[in-house]
Amino acid sequence: MAPIKKKNKKDSNQNKQKKEWRNAIWYFLIGLMFISIISSYFTEPAGPKQATFSYFISQLNQGNLQEVTLRTSEQVVMAKTTDGEVFKTYYINYPNLISELQDQNINIKINPQNSNWLWGTLAQIFLPFLLILLLWFFIFRQAQGMNNQAMSFGKSKASPWRKDEKQKTTFKDVAGVDEAVEELREIVDFLKKPDKYKDIGAKIPKGALLMGPPGTGKTLLAKAIAGEADVPFFSISGSEFVEMFVGVGASRVRDLFNQAKKNQPCLIFVDEIDAVGRHRGAGLGGGHDEREQTLNQLLVEMDGFDPKQTIIIIAATNRPDILDPALLRPGRFDRQVTVPKPDIKGRLEILNIHSQEVKMEKNIDLEVISRGTPGFTGADLANLVNEGTLLAARKNKKLVRMADLEEAMERVIAGPQRKSRVMSDHEKKVISYHEVGHALVAAYAKDVDPVHKISILPRGQALGYTLQLPIEDKYLMSKTQILSTLEVLMGGRAAEEIVFKEITSGASNDIERATELSRALICTYGMSSNLGTRKYGQGNQQVFLGKMYGNENKDYSDQTAKTIDDEIQSIINTAYTNAKKIILKHRKTLDTIATILLETETIDKEEFEKLLGNKKKDTKKETTKKEVSSKTN
């Protein structure tokens, strides 16, 4: 087994600093060269002022010159007067100049050595060549670097996590998916104690596929494995394999597994594997594309493990239905671990984990929040706790209160409160009776979730809402529960009709949900006595999308379709009639609660049960009397 090479962080930092210094020197030299060129070509050097040749002759004839310097190659005369003035001029062929200067005993210098002139000449001649040379060298280095980058184009982009880089996430940070944790503990235990399994003749699964809805904690589980297992851990996304160039994805797969073989025992985690593992030939006309080449190489690498090698690949996806069957067979992803949405106990554990670092009041009951969030994933619950914390901070509170968490729960479920919406008194009254109608039917209907809160404050798209919290998670629904739910949905419209003798458009969403639930009762659940235990309609599967899309295909006659429509209408009408009976029977309670709701805008569970208490006691007494009389007779 090859040893694990540990990187020296100090050496890597030193190499990085050397590279930065080298680049800085090159940039400095190029900048200095540009400044020299510009100064030599475009800046006039400081020196004597320019004068005309006639001015020079006039000064000579007046006897004002003290010293004259002749530069014959440049045809320049530099003169210094007795007053200390220095000027220069250009002269033409003047043969008597030297004799006239000698007659006046003027000091004469011819072509003296000048280092500045020599440096200027060298700068003008050689600096452009030096600039071209440096630029060529710099461009060559850049091209060489691009060549190295092109050569590494087929290298894997997996980020390795090694022993000296342990992640803080462990299985203690994962809650609500105990079964998945137990499945993965076995893999971690094998990597830590392989001899225990090999001695008894057991073979560890070569791959584990984490399947579940988005936000359930699949990637978190992978991070927990990285924190628990004391082996190198390679992490990569499925989309990082595929590029626009053919063959790059397959090359990256080969490079990834070559790295893994050098660092075994190790783990490879591929997130969103459906990006490369989609069913081959899933489009019309088939074809051979880059994604399929990448998948083929992945299949070969997974099945080509040496039995002595200890490399385990873990993948995560929320679309297991579109994966290629070759990926899911034994020998590749032997173990398929489902990561479901948490139940009420799991949600409570998740809330406890996310609230550990949040400053909360002591009287907060997270069990109420867990009961009110059925179907929430771990990511949803983390967002809920964060929303509650933000609400408390917005109100300048030092501790998060129960009201903040309940407000956050309502924001996530129904949307933010719309305080800017202004409604008339009549509309508020209609909405109040509508919501109390829902709550009243829920209080007296059979086997429905209890009412937790009633509100007429607009929130999201809703003008008001009645919040029901289940006592426990339900995985099955009886026919009685479905029919009672339909009665609750019809309670709002029934209250409007009884009180105002007119109906409004406020029950549109209730009617939509009631229609869908009634159709499911007949066509999916097979609970209709008239149509029997059969499923009506087939999903329209789209080959490109891999999911149900559009309307269902009818696999029944037009006569059966009419029977289904009549049955749906009958079920909804019966629920509506039952809801009206409940409201008419408790009309005084409806008026009392609706009046209080108009004043307070919100009624919680305790106050609602208090308003119903006496009426429920009377109902129970009447029921007991009837039972006693029937037994006596």
Considering the domain boundaries, does residue 418 fall inside one? no
Specify if 248 maps to a domain: yes
Query: Is the domain of 97 the same as that of 131?
Result: no
What's residue 623's pLDDT? 40
Distance CA 531, CA 509 (A): 27
How many Å apart are CA 598 and CA 429, to the nearest integer?
Answer: 7
CATH of the domain at 184: 3.40.50.300
Specify the CATH number for the domain of residue 100. Answer: 3.30.720.210
Residue 561 belongs to some domain of the structure: yes
3-state class (DSSP) for residue 75: coil
pLDDT attached to residue 286: 47
In this predicted structure, the answer to whether residue 547 has a pLDDT above a threshold of 60 is: no
Instruction: Let me know whether 538 and 561 are in one domain.
Output: yes
Q: Which of these three, 304, 338, 372, is where a domain ends?
A: 338
Give the tens place of pLDDT for each residue, 160-203. 654 444 456 788 888 888 888 888 888 888 877 877 887 888 77
Contact 622, 614 (CB under 8 A): no
pTM of the model: 0.64
Least confident of 111-115, 215-219, 467-471: 111-115
| Full 3-state SS string of 131-171 | HHHHHHHHHHHHHHHHHHHHHCCCCCCCEEECHHHCCCCCH
Buried-exposed string 494-533: b where 16+ CB fall within 10 A, e elsewhere: bbbbbbeeeeeebbeebbeebbebbbebbbeeebbeebee
Which residues, in sequence order, are bridge partners of residue 79? 68, 87
Residues 269-320 pLDDT 10s: 888 888 888 887 655 444 456 777 888 888 888 876 566 677 888 899 988 8
Domain ranges, residue 83 = 49-112
Using one digit for the tens of pLDDT, what is the confidence trace for 39-62? 555 555 555 777 777 887 788 777
Residues 105 and 136 in one domain: no
- One-letter amino acid for residue 429 of the chain: K
**For residues 347-376, average pLDDT:** 89
Q: Are residues 379 and 524 in the same domain?
A: no
Please count the other Cβ atoms lying within 10 Å of the Cβ belonging to residue 413: 16
* CA pair distance 613, 435, nearest whole angstrom: 19
Pair 328, 275 in one domain: yes
Q: Are 141 and 81 found together in one domain?
A: no
| CATH number of the domain within which 492 lies | 1.20.58.760
Same domain? 168 vs 201:
yes
Active site residues: 435
The structural domain count of the chain equals 5
Q: Are residues 74 and 129 in the same domain?
A: no
- Same domain, yes or no: 54 and 98: yes
Tell me if 295 is assigned to some domain. yes
d(CA 633, CA 630): 5
Range with top average pLDDT, 110-124, 532-546, 563-577: 563-577
Q: If pLDDT is split at 50, 70 and 90, which confidence band does 619 have? A: very low
Residues 265 and 334 in one domain: yes
The confidence band for 147, taking pLDDT boundaries of 50, 70 and 90, is very low
| Most confident residue range from 105-119, 207-221, 558-572 | 558-572
- Which of 306, 322, 338 is the last residue in one of the domains? 338
Q: Quote the pLDDT of residue 554.
A: 77
Whether 322 is in a domain gets the answer: yes
- Estimate the share of the chain in helix, then strand, then coil, as percent rounded to the nearest 5: 55, 10, 35
**Is residue 419 assigned to a domain?**
no
Same domain? For 324 and 352 the reply is: no
Helix (H, G, I), strand (E, B) or coil at 420: coil
According to DSSP, the residues that pair with 266 across neighbouring strands are 311
In a domain, residue 500? The reply is yes
The mean per-residue pLDDT over the stretch 193-216 comes to 83
Q: Give domain status of residue 3, yes or no.
A: no
Same domain, residue pair 92 and 177: no
pLDDT at 589 over 50: yes
